[in-house]
Amino acid sequence: MQKEGCFAKDIATIKKEYDKVAKKIKQFDNDHPLFMITGKIKNREDGSIQVWGLAIPRNDNQNIFGAVWNDSNIIIENPNQNGILIDHYQGEHNFFRKQYGENIFGSSVPVWVYGDEPERLKLQNLLSKLKGKIEKYRQAELEQGKGKEVRLTVERKRLEQEKIKIGSSIEEIKQEIVKCKESSELARLHLKDSLRIVQEMLKTTQESPGQTESQLTESLKKFQKLLAQEKLEFEKNWEEFEQTEVKMKQSREKLEQANSREELENAEPRLKELLEKMKQYREGFEIKIKNLKEGKEFFMNCRLEKG
């Protein structure tokens, strides 16, 4: 199958050759004027016919030598058989020469001789072949264009379907981001509250130390240290979460500008990866919330028992 874009190149190449041949024919016709011969056939011989008729110039010069405007003796060498209709002839030929012959009364009369130069016939045949090639390529180009348009229409539909599909993934990520933010804010509040409770209880146990209080103080200090680590980890996770959110927005922008299935296919795995990260962050925040709640409950119970 011809590659797309090659037809235009082939047509342009053949057209250049066609123009060169047409130019040669035009130059040939300038050197050997072309006439439309029309008239009644008076005699037929091998390779020629004699016509009583006219020779009308095919160019704008009506007075060019070789023009015959009144019925006269005309000889056509190598006549076109398609131009013969019973006893009438019509066809285009180059002017060869003017000669003289005798009529039935023995008087000298002019005889105009026309025909086709072999060189011009060769050029004309070549021109016809080139024209046929150009038409053939143009038809093939047209058919290819129709097929290409059909393929583009199908591809556009597939592209839209892919965009809808990935658009759903983006919506899912958006929802996950909202959940992550809610969970992270809740975790932040629990963390802050836990730190406050620990600080208050540390202050209380330090003011009235005892064996139980010392053990509680030790536990509180450990929990305080753990909370400090949790806070650092939380801030780190939050920073990563925000970076991931920015990447998701960038991926969404690229998706909206995507013009090919390849671009969409490259975007889809990235979106899935981002969605998985969002879920991991949310799950991490929820685990922290659970641990902080348990720690708070433990120390709140200790405070009640002490009270």
Mean pLDDT of 280-292: 70
Q: Which residues pair with 23 in a beta bridge?
A: none
Q: What residues contact 229, with CB distance under 8 A and at least 6 apart?
A: none
What is the rounded CA–CA span in Å between residue 94 and residue 120?
Answer: 9
What pLDDT was estimated at residue 300? 66
What pLDDT was estimated at residue 70? 92
What pLDDT was estimated at residue 1? 45
Q: What residues contact 173, with CB distance under 8 A and at least 6 apart?
A: 248, 271, 274, 275, 278
Assess whether pLDDT exceeds 90 at residue 112: yes
What pLDDT was estimated at residue 114? 92
pLDDT band at 122; cut points 50, 70, 90: confident
Mean pLDDT of 55-75: 89
DSSP 2: P
Beta strands 34-45 and 48-57: pairing type?
A: antiparallel
What is the rounded CA–CA span in Å between residue 83 and residue 91?
Answer: 6
State both tokens at 69: 């405007």
Mean pLDDT of 38-45: 92
What is the rounded CA–CA span in Å between residue 100 and residue 111?
Answer: 5
Assess whether pLDDT exceeds 50 at residue 63: yes
What pLDDT was estimated at residue 55? 94
Assess whether pLDDT exceeds 70 at residue 220: no
Mean pLDDT of 1-6: 51
Per-residue pLDDT of 137-178, as tens digits, reads 777 777 666 656 656 666 677 777 766 776 676 677 677 777
Assess whether pLDDT exceeds 90 at residue 274: no
267-270: long-range contacts (C-beta < 8 A, 24 or more apart)?
A: 267/166, 268/162, 268/165, 268/166, 268/169
Assess whether pLDDT exceeds 90 at residue 3: no
What is the rounded CA–CA span in Å between residue 247 and residue 252?
Answer: 9
Per-residue pLDDT of 232-271, as tens digits, reads 666 676 677 677 767 767 766 666 666 555 665 666 676 6
In the chain, where are the structural domains located?
A: 6-137, 160-306
Assess whether pLDDT exceeds 80 at residue 13: yes
- What single-letter amino acid sits at 177? I
Mean pLDDT of 264-281: 68
- What single-letter amino acid sits at 212? T
Residue 70 backbone dihedrals phi, psi, to 5 degrees: -120, 145
For helices 6-31 and 118-207, angle between their N-to-C axes, nearest 10 degrees: 160
Q: What percent of the chain has pLDDT over 70?
A: 55
DSSP 3: P
Closest CA relative to residue 89, chosen from 45, 34, 42, 57 = 42
What pLDDT was estimated at residue 53? 95
Top pLDDT among 91 and 277 is at 91
Top pLDDT among 135 and 232 is at 135
